[in-house]
Amino acid sequence: MEIKSAEFIMSNSNVEKCPKSLLPEYAFIGRSNVGKSSLINMLANRKSLAKTSGKPGKTQLINHFLINKNWHLVDLPGYGYARVSKSAKRTFQKFITEYFSKRKQLVCGFVLVDIRHEPQTIDMEFMEWLGENMIPFCIIFTKADKLKPKDIEDHIKAYESIMLETWEEMPQYFITSSSNGLGKEDLLSYINDLNQSINQP
Ligand code: GTP
Ligand code: MG
């Protein structure tokens, strides 16, 4: 699938105020600085559709982008930023969990993780929370340009074996780089297939 048009629609912190249209949407979530906004720009072939920064905490709101006039990409704030801990269990910013639990148009959440890092508790907890709430998601490994191909393989294997301690199977995943475009075709064709399946009930 080729992205022919991409436009910013709105930003807000309240899921009730998100676009009313029932177009299918896909949301990018993960720790601050993992590359959510950069990935949206890479997919859309646009340098600064979504605002990016070297400093964590750039994206603070729920941002809707209309793609090819018939589906939405959603850029979210990092959940590792300004989070609050409640006893032992971490809580995520309220509007993030509200977005995922209330947004009926959401077809799939993409949980971004930096391919260089070992599994992080906050990512594992967020994926568990998605699973408990039966919200479909995939994992997107980002910044693959920072590793050699052999190291990519090793990191994925290590990640998978830790995931399999709590999950029956490894969720669908993609290996990407916003710097060199790795994973772009696969991700867009995955989204395209889902869009088609929604249009043909
Ligand atoms: P918040 O909005 O703060 O939650 O961050 P974010 O997840 O949207 O990250 P953002 O896209 O702003 O990128 C953070 C930093 O990582 C920026 O300096 C990007 O240039 C860099 N970055 C993002 N993706 C990649 C990538 O694939 N490769 C490399 N080398 N750098 C990347
Ligand atoms: Mg961002």
Contacts 24+ apart (CB under 8 A), 77-81: 77/32, 78/30, 78/31, 78/32, 78/33, 78/34, 78/36, 79/29, 79/30, 79/31, 79/32, 79/122, 79/126, 80/31, 80/32, 80/56, 80/122, 81/31, 81/32, 81/56, 81/57
Residue nearest to atom 30 of ligand 1 (CA): 143
Encode pLDDT of 104-161 as tens digits.
999 999 999 999 999 999 999 999 999 999 999 999 999 999 999 999 999 999 999 9
Nearest to 178 by CA among 49, 39, 29: 39
What does the alpha-carbon distance between residue 80 and residue 177 come to, in Å, rounded to a whole number?
Answer: 21
Nearest to 134 by CA among 109, 157, 161: 109
What is the per-residue pLDDT for 89?
A: 42
What does the alpha-carbon distance between residue 101 and residue 147 come to, in Å, rounded to a whole number?
Answer: 35
DSSP E strands in 44-190: the ranges are 62-67, 71-75, 84-86, 89-91, 106-114, 137-142, 173-175
What is the per-residue pLDDT for 60?
A: 86
Nearest to 121 by CA among 151, 85, 94: 85
Residue nearest to atom 22 of ligand 1 (CA): 35
Does residue 141 contact residue 175 with C-beta atoms inside 8 Å? Answer: yes
Ligand 1 pocket check for 93: Cβ under 6 Å: no
Model confidence, pTM? 0.94
Do the bridges between strand 84-86 and strand 89-91 make them parallel or antiparallel, or are there none, so unpaired? antiparallel
Nearest to 158 by CA among 114, 117, 128: 117
Encode pLDDT of 44-96 as tens digits.
999 999 999 998 888 889 999 999 999 999 999 998 655 444 443 455 778 89
What does the alpha-carbon distance between residue 56 and residue 143 come to, in Å, rounded to a whole number?
Answer: 15
Ligand 1 pocket check for 36: Cβ under 6 Å: yes
Supply the CATH classification number for the domain 6-199: 3.40.50.300
> How much is the average pLDDT of 9-35?
95
Mutate to test the pocket of ligand 1, among 48, 49, 53, 93 (most ligand atoms within 8 A of CB): 53
Q: If you measure from the C-alpha of residue 158 to the centroid of ligand 2, how many angstroms do you get, rounded to a whole number?
A: 27
What is the per-residue pLDDT for 80?
A: 65
Which residue, chain included where needed, has tokens 């947004």? 103
Cα dihedral 158, 163, 165, 171, rounded to 10, equals -130
What is the per-residue pLDDT for 59?
A: 86
Residue at 171: amino acid letter: P
What is the per-residue pLDDT for 189?
A: 97
Residue 71 structure tokens: 């589906």
> How much is the average pLDDT of 160-171?
96
- State yes or no: pLDDT of 199 exceeds 80: no
